[in-house]
Amino acid sequence: MDTVSRGQRGEQVAADYIKRKGYKVLEQNYRLRNGEIDLIAQDGDTLVFFEVKTWRTYGTDQLHYSIDRMKRKRILSIAKVYLQEHPEYDGKPVRFDVIFVRGESGRIEHYPYAFDEEQ
């Protein structure tokens, strides 16, 4: 399976996972010129922006390094645009989560509030 297909499969696994957890998925692959946010969902009143990483061979420790300061900054910037386009979420709590999906097994590791140090 190529990297793009693996990533798409991982994002779908993550979307199914958060739906089972009671989240309402609002967007998948919200794209702007400078990047994308993999999933945007509602958890009660909270708007959640998800970065999904799918991996085959690396452990979670190595994946944490793949979401560096520049990646977080880009996601925060894209989230601001989304919020400007959707005034219905004005004043609502917002958080940024990361979901790691192991490619073959589909095992999920969900890290809520992953970007708290950036906010």
Kindly report, residue by residue over 40-49, the tens digit of the pLDDT: 999 999 999 9
Domain of residue 8, CATH code: 3.40.1350.10
Kindly report, residue by residue over 46-88, the tens digit of the pLDDT: 999 999 988 766 555 555 666 788 889 999 999 999 999 999 9
Say whether pLDDT at 33 is over 80: yes
pLDDT score of 103 = 66
User: Into how many domains does the chain fold?
Assistant: 1
Distance between CA 12 and CA 27 in Å, rounded? Answer: 12
| Helix, strand, or coil (residue 111) | strand
Q: How many CA atoms lie within 13 A of 86 on its CB side?
A: 16
- Percent of the chain having pLDDT more than 90? 62
Range of the domain at 97: 3-118
